[in-house]
Amino acid sequence: MSIRDSAPDKDDSSGQGGGKGTRYSPELWETIRKEWAVNPSMSYAAAVKTIGARLGVPVPSKGACATYADRNNWRKDGAESDQAIVAPREPVVPAPSEDPAPRRPRSRSVSKPAVPAADASEVVDDETHGLNPKQRRFADFYLISLNATEAYKKAGYTAEGNSAEVNASRLLRHDQVAAYIAERQAQLQSKLEITQEMVLQRWWDIASADPNELVEYRRDNCRFCWGNAHAYQWIDNDEYMREVVRHMRDEEKATEAGKKFHREPPDGAGGFGFVKNHAPDPCCPKCDGDGVGYVHIHDTRRASGAARLLYAGMKEGKEGIELKTHDQMRALDSVARHIGMFKERVEVDMTVASTNDLDEIYKTKMAEVRRRAQQFIGRGERLRSLTNGESNGDLQDHEHADR
């Protein structure tokens, strides 16, 4: 049977060029594939249009062709795809003189991404799940990144943009793919010995950790709290002498520049021995016992187990050091959802009725609808009668009659 003799079958939905639901013969698909494969710059649309003009037969749309090519793993290098359809080539008629101008070719990647290596004990038989090589690669990459769109592209599929997201989501819901992913996750969980109790305990440790073990706001003594007669207190003599030398240099520079120097020299009357983290003196005339406030970051190496889990790193910038922590409210919400505190109870009646029961229910409901419609019609007529002069007593009689 030649390609011209093979009329499209209306029982399938493999293409759209011959109408919705049209099925095209394997010989026509093979002819389109070879026409597309031998020309590196030819797109699916150009190949379909060329074959349609050459043979004078209904051809699929470019979208149907792209879907069929992706499903059968067409390649530009001329190699047979993983699921190539083998069919004898029919003699073709020379192409007409006016060939359609080829459109801009879509970027295609010939090289296949490397498949993640798997332990021999973790390999799942593809024949059991019915996965082809692309689906297997998609599942393996998804288990690494948990990003369906990224895994879809790395597996070798050619769709881009929103189409890639939609196709990746559809592939993730595929029964065989979902079963394979679930089995691999179960194997990983068994190998790492991770249980739900362990994950729940980790969330609870983060939610209940005390942030003050990592960072806290302190108010400690000022320089005048414990100095002699509440004078400025120095840490030691070295600090005092450095300030004296700096004062002398500043005074010399001001004198050389012909400027007046008004700053008082350092006074050591307050004595030495200032300790930053001492408590404030309630009788201090400078701070009134409030001390000096500042932010203190603890040594994270000495943090407890829960505080260590809460800690998420440091960021040092021009404004200082920023300590990062995990979201405790999110951790608490995860714990609450895990134990079912926010679970909404929805009761669904799953009673299965026969066709006869459904017919009876339908008839009963329709009779109720007709009865209510008649009531509304009767009320409308009585209202019109009332506006035309009918007494209120007559209206009440009508209502009693309806009841």
Question: Per the structure block, which two tokens stand in for 16?
Answer: 């759209």
Residue predicted with more confidence, 348 or 223: 223
Whole-number pLDDT of residue 225: 95
Which residues have CB under 8 Å from 322's CB, separation 6+?
Answer: 314, 315, 316
**For residue 201, how many other CB atoms are within 10 A of its CB?**
12
Q: Higher pLDDT residue, 324 or 94?
A: 324
Strand partners for 323? 314
User: Looking at residue 114, what is its pLDDT?
Assistant: 45
| pLDDT over threshold 50, residue 41 | yes
Residue 189 pLDDT greater than 50, yes or no = yes
Neighbours of 53 (CB within 10 A): 15
The mean pLDDT of 124-148, rounded to a whole number, is 80
9 has a pLDDT exceeding 60: no
- The predicted pLDDT at position 63 comes to 83
For residue 339, the model assigns a pLDDT of 78
Mean pLDDT, residues 11-27 taken together: 60
H helix or E strand, kind and range, residue 324: strand 320-325
The predicted structure's pLDDT at residue 158: 87
Distance CA 299, CA 170 (A): 49
How many of the other CB atoms lie within 10 Å of CB of 43? 19
Q: What is the pLDDT of residues 81-106, one digit of tens each?
A: 444 444 444 444 444 444 444 455 55
Tell me: pLDDT of 40 over 70.
yes
Span 53-79, mean pLDDT?
80
Place of tokens 């701070």: 287
Answer yes or no: are the C-beta atoms of 135 and 82 closer than 8 Å: no
Cα angle 240, 243, 245 (rounded to 5 degrees) comes to 110
198: confidence class by pLDDT, cuts 50, 70, 90 = confident
What pLDDT score was predicted for residue 8?
Answer: 52
Q: How far are the Cα atoms of 5, 22, 31 from residue 58, in angstroms, in the given order? A: 11, 10, 13
CA distance 81 to 136: 16
* pLDDT at residue 37, as a whole number: 84
Beta-carbon neighbour count of residue 30 at 10 Å? 19
Residue 156 DSSP class: T
Q: How confident is the model at residue 316 (pLDDT cuts 50, 70, 90)?
A: confident
Between 348 and 367, name the one with better pLDDT: 367
Look-up of token digits 């599929």: 157
Q: Tens digit of pLDDT for each residue in 231-273?
A: 999 999 999 999 999 999 999 999 999 998 888 899 999 999 9
| Region 19-38 average pLDDT | 80
**What residue ranges define each of the domains in the chain, with the CATH number in brackets?**
1-110 (no CATH), 120-192 (1.10.10.1400), 196-214+298-345 (no CATH), 217-297 (no CATH)
Would you give the end-to-end CA distance of the chain in angstroms? Answer: 77
